[in-house]
Structure 1
Amino acid sequence: MSDNVAPGRVPGIRPRMGNARLRRALAIAGCLSALAGCATLPDAERELAVPHDQQVEFEGAHGPVSAAASEAILDRLEGEDGASDVLQKHLAYEQAVNADSPLVLGNKLTLLQNGPATYQAMFAAIRQARDHINLETYIFDDDESGHQFSDLLLERAAAGVQVNVIYDSVGGILTPATFFDRLREGGIQVLEFNPVNPLTGNKKSWRLNNRDHRRQLVIDGRIAFTGGINISDTYSSAPSGKRTRKKRDQAPDAGAGWRDTHIRIEGPVVAEFQKLFMDTWARQKGPPLAAKNYFPKLKAQGDEIVRAIGSTPDDRDSLIYLTLMSAISHAEQQVHLTIAYFAPDPQLLKALTDAARRGVDVVLVLPSYSDSWPIFHLGRSNYARLLRGGVKIYERRGAVMHAKTACIDGVWSTIGSTNLDWRSFLHNDEINAVILGRAFAAQMETMFASDLAESDAIALDQWRHRSLLLRLKERMARIGAYWL
């Protein structure tokens, strides 16, 4: 569960995240109670073995774009770089995975790195809200950051703006009820996702292990934010960038900050994020929402092609999983990933090593320290296989790496809430933005290069000589791999 809070905590970081062992214990209890009905990942090879020669279709501000207009858009996109048709191929593969989730034209994107920049952008957008604010978050802490958000939300509610909030019951397990009561008393609609106490939720559909791991904020149906950042003082500072050398598995310096990524979106695709929020509210049987202009007419704001993808445990297949597997499996040049919690399944491991063996530059930037030692060591237990297969692995220094991003072939990018672990793909509600285009991918590559400069390479010969204690931790972590 992202923010895979686990035993122990990072020195200098408020105990809220470190205390997440309680969240994980609750989730594992839910898993064990449902052991007889374990979910399984889709057969990616079978699901992706579909024809990809169909016409790529787009949606714009006024709905579906004609076939002729779509063809003209593709010609223009490829005309920007005649060296290859890699962008068109990724567009076709992306559409083939899920034709029901549209590729939407005309969006403007702002890449946000780390908590301070993200909070500043979110606060500015909240202050500008005139009709409604829809906020969905895994963690909403009762701390300085949480109070900054709650005070702003209450201010806008007092001004007549409808504010609707969804928070996860396990993610908010340490936030006192009085914190949310204050929001309700101020006129804000607050919905607890899958309450831990089955008597307070939907008894028929109660599943402790199904958590809302999404982070999204929608302002007036016109601006959306999504990514990996929760509402917590954990994100109140950014990584220092100091090139300190520490032993592996050692915590970063106090106050080093968490490394994470978010995105601000304007344009027609915001309606797709809004639909996902409204769907969650309906599935959780929240009270009727006040009549507001949740779906205003949207105009093109930029040139980016964006797809909003949400996944839930009730889906036949995890679309986020399949779209990532498709992009990796069809990669021709690069696969660059920054991953907070790395617990790959066999199919994902194979896709990464297969890509490396066919000459693709596969590079993973992973944490050198984590707030969840089981996930941390479970991920490390795969290093030898990945390194032998030609995958390059780096560990980020000086901060807890919490970002969940990918950039593939300089044209396919994703930012969202989804980790590369069983929990994200099978047990959580997750949300990702997929962006198809070179301009935004160039920003992603710049960000990736910056992370790489703050990371240490893991060499196979060096890894083979790791201590017996580390090997033991890896073996212990693998015992409960499915449930982490």
Structure 2
Amino acid sequence: MTPKQNDTVLKELRKNSPVTTIFDKHLPIEGEIADQPLMIGNKAKLLVDGPATYASMIQDIENAKDHINIEIFSFEDDEVGLRFSNLLINKQRNGVQVNIIYDSYGSINTPKAFFKKMEEIGINVLEYNPINPLIGRKEWNVNLRNHRKLLIVDGNIAFVGGINISSVYSSGSFGRKSKSNKKGQPWRDTHLRVIGPVVKEFQKLFISTWMEQNGNQLISKDYYPRLIEKGNEIVRAISNTPEKTYSSIHSILLSAINNSERKVYLTNAYFVPDTHLLDALKAAAQRKVDVKLLLPEKTDSIMVFYASRSYYNELLNAGVKIYTRQDALLHAKTALIDDVWSTIGSTNLDWRSLYNNHELNAIIIGKDFGAELNSLFHKDLGASKQITHEEWSERSLGTRFKERMARLWAPWL
């Protein structure tokens, strides 16, 4: 936005949302920290769980005319993975160039033959930071991972959020369990489909990662088509990379929480906060901001599970309300602050995600999208259990010991 556009938009936001001053206090800080600009004229669609997300993705992939770019942590060789790979192979055969970046660690259980089949028909496949140091493209560091979940279709549609390509997402978390999900309880996750000018910023990030990993030269396609305004949402693409001396996503979230006046609603799968985030949450609650954390009741990482719970006591004492999602494995990563600042993406609130991973979020400014995310948050609360002081004080000595031991490993989780 030009300075004049910026002033006009901020004036309109203040008029429509007079209950917060986050536009005056936080957005200038966010603008200084972020590498990508705030873009007007976008349309963002909230996608809940795997079935709705996959249906939307598949429809757009089927309609692709020029190219498809995918940057993904886990691309599994299962029912869902095969459906996507067969569709991508078909599009490649019909002249649509497909480029895929997958994380070596996140897809460690996927056979190389799965990707080789796609490469053989012309799909460009890039393994991010190979675990095998003999095939690494840069200085080898097994600790660096690409945790992003990004799909771009024809340079004008972007999907971003927490959902990988895997059958664990094949059932929704609010209804009956799908028989096609053979891996236990359903996974609860959130994704976003966005069209409009901000898609260019997501495309830049994909191509930047491709070049940074010294991938094969990309086939010439219309990666940056002319994008027109599609809606009223104001969106920023925000990335995290361990090459930076600080975490952009972490810094921006801290600023938003520190400048909150009414509400901080965080949903996160892996909550192992550093001291800055912990202090920001406690301080917000102590100044009477409604701070609610929606966290997993069960998790796929037992160490993270106990480390996360080691923080409950001091958070509860500060007035933070904690809820745990029942009957589903919570994997979503979202935040809503003062009903007008929202973010959805791949970023967990643990040390690994904030300091060692490539991550990607979308920030959406405005009360309409905020109302949608608020409604979804309360729907999750309806399927959750609140952790009370009384209940928490009665946990066993064995549980407390496990929490203390896991807390020692917090910086490596």
Q: TM-score, normalised by structure 2?
A: 0.96
Q: CA deviation at 1:88?
A: 4.3
Structure 1 Cα separation of the partners of residues 207 and 229 of structure 2: 23
Alignment partner, residue 215 of structure 1: 149
Q: CA deviation at 1:83?
A: 4.7
- Give the alignment partner of residue 351 of structure 2, picking from 422, 431, 436: 422
Q: CA deviation at 1:182?
A: 0.4
Residue 206 of structure 2 is aligned to residue 271 of structure 1: no
Q: CA deviation at 1:240?
A: 3.9
- Residue deviations 1:39-72 (CA, integer Å, cap 9, x gap): xxxxxxxxxxxxxxxxxxx3xxxxxx2x333222
- Structure 1 moving runs of 4+ over 6 Å: none
- Give the alignment partner of residue 314 of structure 1, picking from 243, 246, 249: 243
Q: CA deviation at 1:84?
A: 4.9
- Correspondences of 1:287-326 after superposition (within 5 Å): 287-326=216-255
Which AA in structure 1 matches 2:172? A
Structure 2 Cα separation of the partners of residues 448 and 378 of structure 1: 24
Q: CA deviation at 1:78?
A: 2.5
Residue 392 of structure 2 is aligned to residue 463 of structure 1: yes
The answer to whether the 8 Å contact 2:20/2:261 transfers is no
Structure 1 Cα separation of the partners of residues 75 and 183 of structure 2: 22
Residue 127 of structure 2 is aligned to residue 195 of structure 1: no
Aligned to 2:197, the other structure's residue is in SS state coil
CA gap of 1:81–1:330, structure 2 versus 1, over 3 A, is closer
Structure 2 Cα separation of the partners of residues 71 and 482 of structure 1: 41
Structure 2 Cα separation of the partners of residues 69 and 156 of structure 1: 40
Q: CA deviation at 1:213?
A: 0.4
Q: TM-score, normalised by structure 1?
A: 0.82
Deviates more, 1:264-273 or 1:457-466: 457-466
Which AA in structure 2 matches 1:108? K
Alignment partner, residue 179 of structure 2: none
- Correspondences of 1:117-266 after superposition (within 5 Å): 117-202=52-137, 204-241=138-175, 255-266=184-195
CA gap of 1:187–1:352, structure 2 versus 1, over 3 A, is same
Residue 281 of structure 2 is aligned to residue 352 of structure 1: yes
- For structure 2, the 5+ residue unaligned runs are 177-181
Residue 10 of structure 2 is aligned to residue 74 of structure 1: yes
Alignment partner, residue 9 of structure 1: none
Structure 2 Cα separation of the partners of residues 82 and 320 of structure 1: 26
Aligned to 1:362, the other structure's residue is in SS state strand
Cα root mean square deviation, aligned = 1.4
Aligned to 1:140, the other structure's residue is in SS state coil
Alignment partner, residue 8 of structure 1: none
Which AA in structure 2 matches 1:262? H
The alignment covers a number of residue pairs equal to 408
CA gap of 1:84–1:413, structure 2 versus 1, over 3 A, is closer
Q: CA deviation at 1:87?
A: 3.8
Aligned to 2:298, the other structure's residue is in SS state coil
Alignment partner, residue 378 of structure 1: 307
CA gap of 1:453–1:254, structure 2 versus 1, over 3 A, is farther
- For structure 1, the 5+ residue unaligned runs are 1-57, 59-64, 243-252
Aligned-residue sequence identity (percent) comes to 52
The answer to whether the 8 Å contact 2:105/2:131 transfers is yes
The answer to whether the 8 Å contact 1:365/1:396 transfers is yes
Structure 1 Cα separation of the partners of residues 353 and 20 of structure 2: 34
The answer to whether the 8 Å contact 1:241/1:454 transfers is no
Alignment partner, residue 373 of structure 2: 444
- Residue deviations 1:459-480 (CA, integer Å, cap 9, x gap): 1121011012211221221222
Aligned to 1:237, the other structure's residue is in SS state coil
- Residue deviations 1:264-319 (CA, integer Å, cap 9, x gap): 01000000000000010001000000011100110000011111011111012110
CA gap of 1:184–1:381, structure 2 versus 1, over 3 A, is same
Alignment partner, residue 97 of structure 1: 33
Which AA in structure 1 matches 2:52? A
- Give the alignment partner of residue 434 of structure 1, picking from 341, 355, 363: 363
